[in-house]
Structure 1
Amino acid sequence: MTHLKILYYHLLSDKKIKDIVSSCPNIIHLNFKRSTGFSDKVLILIVGAYPNLKYLNLCDYADTYGTLYQRFINKGLLAISSSCYKLEYLNIYLHTGITELTICDIIYSCPGLQHLDLSYCEVTNLVIEEIAHSCLNLKYLNLEGCANVSREAINQLDLLKPNIHVENFMNTIMPAPFDAYSVIYALSRRLGMSVDTPRDATSLHNYINDKLMRRMTLLERIELKRNDSKAKKFIELVYRKQKPIYSLKLTHLEIPYYNPLSSKKIEGIVRTCPNIIHLNFKNCVGFSNRALNQLKAYSNLRYLNLCSSGIMGDKALCGMVGSCHKIEYLNISFCQGITDRSLIKIVDSCQALQEFHFACAHLISERFIIEKLLTVEKHLNVEKHLSVKYLDFGRHVYIAETSICNAIHSCPNLQHLNLSFCEITDVTIKEISCSCFYLKYLNLEGCANITKEAIDQLVLLNLNIHVEDFMNSMDMRTELNQKIVRIYNIQHNVGNNLNSVLPQLYHNQKKMKYSSLESSQQDESNGSKIVFLGLIIDEILNKM
């Protein structure tokens, strides 16, 4: 190991440094930025053990009360001048206890220096003169807070070394009215103020506002939570056709649970922020077809979450996905008004789609899911492979096993597959083994007709796969009996065998919230009955 960084670590004791030196003898790059706890004695050990050191960062910091946490005296820094002749980078930011003569000795002994940070060190024109004569390769010099250096000395340095970049130099006629340990000093340090900036309340206010505006120009992501003040302020800006300074930079916008998000507000967002590629409007009440039409302007859109955002029609959704071909994530779950037409358009237009959620889209027909979206007929005939990585069939008991197998075959890039409570057998597991070489997660909860041998073969072929909640029919029957006993122990009115509990279970079936259970009840397979009864028992137990 030649490079070591330990940043912002406040328990870097002498003992730990000694262990590092003994374990890593070939260090040439050492960065202890704002790390504290070690002494001059260990600093002498470091520079003595690493004669080939090229990079050394000893940047200190002050808290809000102006307290300096890492103080070195001249003895520790002088060791650099006697050992580290190959040093190219040195940062002794805020080490106010180092004398000017010690800094001059270091500069003289390290002619290869290219980067030197002397911010808030006690230096005068003497150090600048030494730099001009000794550091022939110096390219960067930071003199922030060095108030005792004259403009004439810097001009002379620039004349002798035209390639050097002097940063944060500010000559002051009068020394700044604070010392290294004052509260004002610490505040100005945290704000990055130059030493000659006025310290009155008005100047501080203007300085902070200017800094905030500059930072906002770099803003690329906004995440707002519910109807908080920031969300309301942002919507108010775009609604009034005001253009925030960061609008052109903004690419990610998340405003979930906003109420109401009208089409006029969406229009303001599209007009103000034209470079959006990530939109999250989850659970935003008031979203309409007109608002959806506005999103067609985002041709580079990659992520769109409209989960539970209200009623929308096929025409608006088809128009939007027809313009946004690059979508990789789309969530229209619980959106009313979506039919087969929209999903056909999504399948045909969004070839980059990797994750698609349309839970509880009740107007989509079972035939469409089986024959179109799952690529049973249309796509398989031309061997079309999709880029889908996430597929969730959980509790879709009406989808035939052949349809699921065809979908798996068409999605060789799958990494996440949920088949919980689907009517599948070893045939599906075999198809997964042959087609899904990148699969990392497989949920088989409630799939009672799969054998342990099939799962063992799958894991043997794909060592990285995680199979969750697999339980064959015998294991399910054992678990079911245990749940029956639990009901008996709680209510004392149900026998601890399968026959005596059936009347109560089927009576409670009408109260179940899972509509898919009605289909599985009609299935005569032993595994399906066990899964079905187990779900109803879980519902009973949850209500006790």
Structure 2
Amino acid sequence: MKRKRTCSAFNSTVTATCSHLPDECWEFIFGLIINDDENRNKLRILNPLSLVSKQFLSVTDRLRFTLTVYEPSYLRRIFKRCTNLNSIQLASSFDSDKLLRIISRFPLKQLTSLILFYQPKIPTIGLRVFSQKITTLTSLNCSHIGCLNTSDLFLIAECFPLLQELDLSYPSGCKNYTSYVDGVEALSLALIKLRKVNLSEFPINNQSLYHLFNNCKHLEEVIILRCDEITSTGLASAIRERPTLRSLSFATTKVSEVFTTSQSIDSLVSLKGLTCLVLRNLNISDELLYSIAREGLLLTRLDLPFCSNYSYNGIFCLLSKCRRFQHLNLQYADFLNDQDVVQLSSFLGDLVSINLSHCDKLTESALFALLRNCPSLSEIEMESMGGESDIVWNSDSLRKSCVYPQLKGLYLGSNSWLSDEILIMVTSIFPNLQLLDLEFCNHISEGICEVLRKCCKIRLLNLAYCPRVKLHRMNFVVPKLEVLNLSDTKVDDETLYLISKNCSGLMTLQLRNCSGVTKKGWKCVLKNCRQLRKHECIIPSSLETTRTM
């Protein structure tokens, strides 16, 4: 009784204190808290605040700009409270046509974004009704649609002429490329304000791409990954029609596709405003990199994963001339050695993220060269370092290493040589580490507990396919851990009890193929991890019947 009176008195005090300040003041304060939060998770902040008082609930509702709709039961109440919504996502578990018809009844005057990914098909009836009532839409995401017809393209062109961003990536069951030509042309003629489009794995060919680049005068960003009907010649022809392009991502699954002809190179370097270039799985050349360097393109992002036939000389020329790079991806650049990385890192003062995975000749020397020479570096991916050979780390140099507080993300997956001792020493110099990926690290065991104890800011930890990993010594709170992947490990109910007890902030827990987990362990998780999201929980098939949240 005494405790209840104390809590009641506290709530009364808080409520009284809140009422002295107007809503606008609290809205400003909450906005500052959200902007300063390192996790960038608004709900983690807004949900507890909304429970303090009715005033705080009202203020936090106005700061909610996105909404995922599963079913229509409470939409009227939500839309009445959350008056500043600008983005809605439909879950694939409900009739999307019905949801869109219901949503269109509400005066959502600020709604600009609609997300429909992973729907079985385009909800044509609902979209038509929706477009007649809500005319402010500028962004439509229809990625991973189960069935996409050419008639759907005509519908989008007719209903949403103000679109600036369109995502039709990764549809299923689209094989006849020529049947989509007219639909793409209709889109390009109708969407005169289109700035960004993602057509990865979409049935688009050279002719359709030309229509898109020629007709969309404001086009700035194009993503066409794994579009095998587009050739480098067709891409070069389209690029000449849109010299204002600022971002280009192109990839193919055809091993023979080349991007080395003078036509391809000349078209690319004609994009004087290009800041982002992603070329994947292509046969490129040093001449391409030399040409970009000579033209002085202001690139800040360069991705060349799985590309072949370029060398250290080309990369050296480009990085030494263009020193604005913030993001660099050189996966499978197997010519790189430690000394190369030492030299290149001296040109990368603005670098924020780098991916050097599957570069067989690299060791920890490359890692520490990047940390020393790139003061802004916050994310490093170095999976499968050293190839098949074992890397021998210098323990003395590790112990004497400086602390690097700027590093937030570290990907060291598929490094079989990574032991508990090395992992503990490496992570000890990264006090602000938030993301740690150790997938397929066969020798990680109990040391991960010491890592979690020292790196208390970790919010994402991937231990999938680590057969020896043990968490039985995790008898301490891990306050910020939100995402934990333990798929294909020997985790059991006892471990799940410790996790649920000490990681109450978990939002995602992945437990694929964990035979040691039973209903008892899963119930502990459901009981203690209240923020766990139902649609993100991946559990063993044997436990499907216990998934009630």
Compute the TM-score of the two structures, normalised by the length of structure 1. 0.46
Kindly name which structure, 1 or 2, has the bigger radius of gyration based on alpha carbons. 1
TM-score of the two chains, using structure 2 as the length reference: 0.45
Structure with the bigger RCO (C-alpha within 8 Å, sep 6+) is 1
